[in-house]
Amino acid sequence: MRTQVAIIGAGPSGLLLGALLNQAGIDNIILERQSGDYVLGRIRAGVLEQVTVDLLDEVGVSQRLHKEGLVHGGIELLFAGKRHRIDMNSLTGGKNVVVYGQTEVTRDLMADRATKGLTTIYDAHDVQVHDFDSANPSVTYTTEGQAQTLQCDFIAGCDGFHGVCRASVPEGSITEYEKVYPFGWLGILADVPPVSHELIYANTDRGFALCSMRSATRSRYYVQVPLTDKVEDWSDERFWADLKNHLDPEAQANLVTGPSIEKSIAPLRSFVAEPMRFGRMFLAGDAAHIVPPTGAKGLNLAATDVKYLSHALTEYYAEKSNAGIDHYSQRCLRRIWRAERFSWWFTSLMHQFPDTAGFGQKVQEAELDYLVHSASASRSLAENYVGLPLNFGE
């Protein structure tokens, strides 16, 4: 079997890349080691920057997003017992974010790919990438007990942090930068109305909390917990009581509780792998970088990676030019490090760190006080939160 671009991973980045390439007339096949149902069962974030919404518009899969997505023009910062709204819309000249679950983005892209008859091979086991430093790369895998080989021109590694693509790069060819945070997020998903119509980011002496949502009837809440905590230690009742103690009186009064649909603890890390191109193999999304969920940059960074990659590959096939391919890694990394900086800063500002209690808490509250009362500081937060333009600084 042969294709022009072999895409490893059928998450939103791989599916979006496939849609962009198909629109440009570039043949592609997606290989995914899990089943389609498993992929759709993964619970992920859902705050989309305008750039990401524009990309979904571009490939024609945004109809449900525009019908069901919640447009947010601001966020609220809660500290010292009081909420302060950051009006992102007015501070950025009319830009917003859209709350629409990553699972739903994946579902829309999967449905579109199936409708167009494009090939996605699920349950592809033992995936291995070969000869990506040559003009004739290939991918081997096993499906239904049969060994298969996929010949291709290029390989796109959209297979996540633990995927095979980055792991296949020769030792010494890649530099990894990582920061592991000393806490995690305990998250709960429940079919209850949100406590507020916009996200609330809370900084308290009990630690961080986030009040988010997936729809007008489904909420997603988080509280900061030590890495030693286990999900089984947290009953629904304990979670709701702890969350309530993070909130201001108005939010406490508005909080509706109910049984959890999903509950999990996610560790926080910042991670970047450089470079993102190795011959004819490219890394994109979580395969190349991880950001803390504070600020909601993960999916949005993955979307811009594949936009740059699709443009580079389209330029290669249409114009016989290597320029986009040669600059792919550098272009992505410049944007990635900006998002890494913002996510690190926002995480450092909002969370309680074990070694900075007391004095550190007061310093955070002072910085937050400055942030909400300085137009330039508020604008910086707003610009980064809604997402910098694709060509920012170029």
From 95, 246, 297, 307, active-site residue: 297
Specify whether 82 is catalytic.
no
| Strand positions, DSSP E, the chain | 5-8, 28-31, 47-48, 70-72, 74-79, 82-87, 97-99, 120-121, 125-130, 138-143, 146-151, 154-157, 175-190, 200-204, 207-213, 219-225, 260-274, 277-278, 281-283, 289-290
Q: Which two tokens stand for residue 95?
A: 């830009």
From 100, 181, 328, 385, active-site residue: 385
The CA-atom distances, in angstroms, between 308 and each of 49, 283, 326, 332 are 16, 12, 11, 7
Tell me how far apart the alpha carbons of residues 98 and 51 are, in angstroms, rounded to a whole number: 11
Tell me how far apart the alpha carbons of residues 302 and 14 are, in angstroms, rounded to a whole number: 9
Specify whether 201 is catalytic.
yes
Q: Based on C-alpha coordinates, what's the Rg of the chain?
A: 21
Specify whether 197 is catalytic.
no
Tell me how far apart the alpha carbons of residues 357 and 64 are, in angstroms, rounded to a whole number: 45
The CA-atom distances, in angstroms, between 251 and each of 194, 235, 366 are 10, 21, 23
Half-sphere exposure of 167 (CA within 13 A, CB side): 9
Contacts of 3 (CB under 8 A, 6+ apart): 27, 28, 29, 119, 150, 151, 152
Contacts of 394 (CB under 8 A, 6+ apart): none
From 100, 141, 181, 201, active-site residue: 201
From 12, 137, 194, 293, active-site residue: 293
Asked whether the beta carbons of 78 and 202 are under 8 A apart, the reply is yes
Contacts of 129 (CB under 8 A, 6+ apart): 8, 137, 138, 139, 155, 157, 164, 165, 168, 281
Closest CA to 273 of 177, 158, 168: 177
The one-letter amino acid code at 115 reads T
Strand order in the sheet with 125-130: 125-130, 138-143, 146-151
Specify whether 354 is catalytic.
no
Tell me how far apart the alpha carbons of residues 142 and 232 are, in angstroms, rounded to a whole number: 36
Specify whether 385 is catalytic.
yes
Show which residues are catalytic.
Answer: 72, 201, 293, 297, 385
